Amino acid sequence: MKSYLKHISVYLPDKNVTNDDITAMFPTWDSAKIFEKVGIKNRHIAGSSEGVADMAVAAIKNLQIETNIDLSQIDYFLLCTQSPDYQIPTTACIVQHRVGLRDSCGAIDINQGCSGYIYGLSLASALVSSGAANNVLLVTADVYSKHIHNTDKGNISLFGDAATASLISSNGKYEIGKFSLGTDGSGYDKLIIKNSGLFSKSKDQDDPENYLFMDGAAVFDFTAKRIPQLIEENLELNRLVKDDIDLFVFHQANTFMLNFLRNRIKIAKNKFLINMENYGNTVSSSIPLAFQDSFDGESKNVMMVGFGVGLSWGAVILFKK
């Protein structure tokens, strides 16, 4: 059985942080050049008491408004997040209750970052294709902003908060093709919050190990090496060539990296989606958020490519019906 991506809804928190706001926070930082290179002007930031469950609920409510869906039709709910409201219990269970999914609906969190939408789609697609589920709700939601130290001007500039809600079903606009997924755990410490789990050491609030650390050069290197290969593999798996793809939707990390990859892989500018200047890097929401404006467009074959924390990567091709 085939599976289809039926709809994408988004939620962006109200608070907006502009480049001027950041410059005011770090007055001695020569930021103008960096802002231009990373291609971000604004990022939405969750409110102080706004969490992942709140944002997931808001994205699902938007999905409901936009599609008129009867939420009791959802039989499986996947919440992709790395900044859940709780480790225990599953944040997806909290959301189930708040939006009123039926109690015979499965609900779990999946912990994945910038490749998370691809992984989430791969699970949703498998559930529908196998007949195990009819209507899968895939939500991405992260509040990385709450895990970045207030002196970390680099990461403050790059990351934004957002949530998306996607519906995957046995009918819909885009047939979901075959997935290529990959992992390299030797790079686990290139994007990490050291004190985010079992081995957390510090009681000192200000310890940098309580906050997000990103080795930008290592992550850049990793994408330069892995992504061209990933695209070749996924094209072959889906029996297509590069020219058959009408639109590439990469994880929207920053425009510098995106343009570098576009050139390296030799993709035409008009086939390469960059839609992040008002959002920043929204982790697993970045692909659906960027693609949402093009969802009703004319692209027949859309390749989605996610990569990042883990280290982890994945790609899939969507075929417009």
Partner 1 sequence: MEMQDFIEKFASQLESQDIEVNAETNYVKSEFWDSLTAMVVKVMIDDEFGIDIPVEKLNGFNSIGSLFNYLEENKK
CB burial class (10 A; 0-12, 13-18, 19+) of residue 1?
exposed
Which residue from 178, 187, 165, 175 is spatially nearest to 64, judged by alpha carbons? 165
Q: Among this protein's residues, is 251 annotated catalytic?
A: yes
Binding partner 1 by CB under 8 A: which of 217, 241, 296, 298? 217
How far is residue 306's CA from residue 118's CA, in Å, rounded to a whole number? Answer: 6
- Annotated active-site residue in 19, 105, 114, 254: 114
Which residue from 267, 149, 282 is spatially nearest to 212, judged by alpha carbons? 149
Taking the complex as a whole, the smallest distance from the CB of residue 68 to partner 1 amounts, in Å, to 45
Binding partner 1 by CB under 8 A: which of 35, 260, 295, 319? 260
How far is residue 150's CA from residue 131's CA, in Å, rounded to a whole number? Answer: 47
Q: Nearer to partner 1 by C-beta: 31 or 278? A: 31
132 DSSP 8-state letter = S
- Annotated active-site residue in 7, 238, 251, 301: 251
Verify binding: residue 35, partner 1, rule CB under 8 A.
no
Please choose, out of 68-76, 110-118, 221-229, 300-308, the segment that lies near partner 1 by the rule CB under 8 A: 221-229
Taking the complex as a whole, the smallest distance from the CB of residue 15 to partner 1 amounts, in Å, to 27
Binding partner 1 by CB under 8 A: which of 8, 10, 22, 34? 34
Q: Among this protein's residues, is 281 annotated catalytic?
A: yes
Binding partner 1 by CB under 8 A: which of 33, 203, 266, 269? 33
Taking the complex as a whole, the smallest distance from the CB of residue 64 to partner 1 amounts, in Å, to 41
Task: Count interface residues toward partner 1 (CB under 8 A).
Answer: 11
Q: Nearer to partner 1 by C-beta: 220 or 295? A: 220
The b-or-e profile of 92-117 (16+ CB within 10 A means b, else e) is bbbbbeebebeeebbbebbebbbbbb
Binding partner 1 by CB under 8 A: which of 102, 224, 229, 244? 224
Verify binding: residue 213, partner 1, rule CB under 8 A.
no
The SS3 assignment for 108 reads strand
Q: Among this protein's residues, is 105 annotated catalytic?
A: no
Which residue from 47, 283, 243, 69 is spatially nearest to 158, judged by alpha carbons? 283
281 DSSP 8-state letter = B
> What ranges in the chain are assigned the alpha helix state H?
19-25, 32-38, 52-67, 91-99, 116-129, 153-158, 216-237, 255-265, 286-292
Taking the complex as a whole, the smallest distance from the CB of residue 191 to partner 1 amounts, in Å, to 15
Residue for token digits 């093009």? 294
Taking the complex as a whole, the smallest distance from the CB of residue 22 to partner 1 amounts, in Å, to 17
Please report, as ranges, the residues that interact with partner 1 according to CB under 8 A.
33-34, 37, 216-217, 220-221, 224-225, 256, 260
Active site residues: 114, 251, 281
